[in-house]
Structure 1
Amino acid sequence: MIARFFRLFVCQLMLVFACAGAQAADGIEITRASIAASDEGYRLSSNYSFDLTPGLEQAVMHGVALYFTTEIELTRPRWWWYDDKAVSKRRTVRLHYDLLNRQYTVQVIGSLQQSFATLDEALFLIRRPVPWLFAARGDLKSGETYNVTLRMFMDREYLQKPLQVDAFNNSDLRLASHKKTFTYRAE
């Protein structure tokens, strides 16, 4: 009786760890992030690693648009007061499947859109976006060191209202990265 209970307990414990590992794998990982100065200003080059959950993949296949938002914030540390917030920007990318044309479209909000034949091709553009001009040349002081905070998440605010409510309860509809922090010395 005790041996049977112990085996049941061990199986349940293994199931809990397996589920925790699977849940940790669901998310966005920022694999590369760097800032480069150019004549126009400062550009963020970044790469992300993620897969859509089955629920999100199914939602896209039924014509629901998904929005992925990247947030970047640069602050200058000050010992005598709160940190000086130099730049705080957001960029949102829309992923949509057109049921009539049977094409996936990826659009940076406020910019042009591209069409793709497969979901993997469309996700490739979201995972490896073109460098983003997030700050003008005069926004950062040359020679100053800034703390950079970067994160990417599926923006539930853009979802249709019934899906917004469901997204709070359904972990299958949530996708986000942890905040990545690093320092950058402005040129």
Structure 2
Amino acid sequence: MILRLFRLIACQLLLAFACAQAQASDGIEITRNIIEASEDGYRLNANFEFQLPHGLEQALQMSVPLYFTTEIDVTRPRWWWTDERAVSQRQTVRIDYDVLTRQYHVRVMGSLQQNFTTLDEALSMIRRPSRWLFAPKGTLEPGKTYNVTLRMFLDRDFLQKPLQVNAFNNADWRLTSNKKNFTYKAE
């Protein structure tokens, strides 16, 4: 009897661990994170890997726009005080579906909109965004090393209020990446 109970508990723990691992792998993964110095300033060259959960696909098909926000924080470490924040920027991309034209629209907020016929093409623009100018030239001091934190998430703050309440109770609406930390030596 005790052996049977022990086996049952062990199986439940293994199942819970497997479910937690599967749920963790369903988020957004940052597969590329490179900062490039250009004549205009500093650009982020990043790639993100994720699959849109079924619930989000359904919401998109019902013309509910989804917003994906990328955050970058650049700090300079100091031994004598807290780290100095050099740059803290956000970029939000909106994706929506037009039922009448049967097209997906993707727009970087404050920029032009692009239209796509398939969801995979539209998501490709979000997964592999163009090089984002996140800081003008002269913001970072050449030769200094900076700590960079990068993350992407489904931004529920842009949703309509009734959807925000539902989004907090539904796991499909918690699509996010872990924070990716790396260092960058300014050029």
Normalised by the length of structure 2, the TM-score is 0.94
Q: Distance in 1 between matches of 2:28 and 2:110?
A: 24
Moved more, 34-43 or 19-28: 19-28
1:156 maps to 2:145: no
Q: Distance in 1 between matches of 2:75 and 2:34?
A: 16
Aligned length: 187
Q: Distance in 2 between matches of 1:9 and 1:91?
A: 46
Paired amino acid for 1:101: T
Instruction: Name the Cα RMSD after superposition.
Output: 1.4
Equivalence for 2:18: 18
Question: 5 Å matches for 1:132-151?
Answer: 132-151=132-151
Q: Distance in 2 between matches of 1:170 and 1:161?
A: 15
Shift of 1:55: 1.1
Q: Distance in 1 between matches of 2:102 and 2:162?
A: 25
The Cα offsets for residues 103-156 of structure 1, whole Å up to 9 and x where unpaired, read as 111100000111111111111110001100111101111111111110100000
Moved more, 131-140 or 166-175: 166-175
Q: Distance in 1 between matches of 2:10 and 2:57?
A: 34
The Cα offsets for residues 83-120 of structure 1, whole Å up to 9 and x where unpaired, read as 11111100000010111111111100000111111111
Shift of 1:7: 5.2
Equivalence for 1:33: 33
Shift of 1:53: 1.1
Q: Distance in 2 between matches of 1:6 and 1:79?
A: 51
Q: Distance in 1 between matches of 2:78 and 2:6?
A: 56
Equivalence for 1:178: 178
Paired amino acid for 1:26: D
Question: 5 Å matches for 1:55-70?
Answer: 55-70=55-70
Q: Distance in 1 between matches of 2:145 and 2:7?
A: 56
Q: Distance in 2 between matches of 1:121 and 1:23?
A: 25
Q: Distance in 1 between matches of 2:21 and 2:11?
A: 15
Shift of 1:22: 1.8
Secondary structure of 1:139's counterpart equals coil
Equivalence for 1:94: 94
Equivalence for 1:103: 103
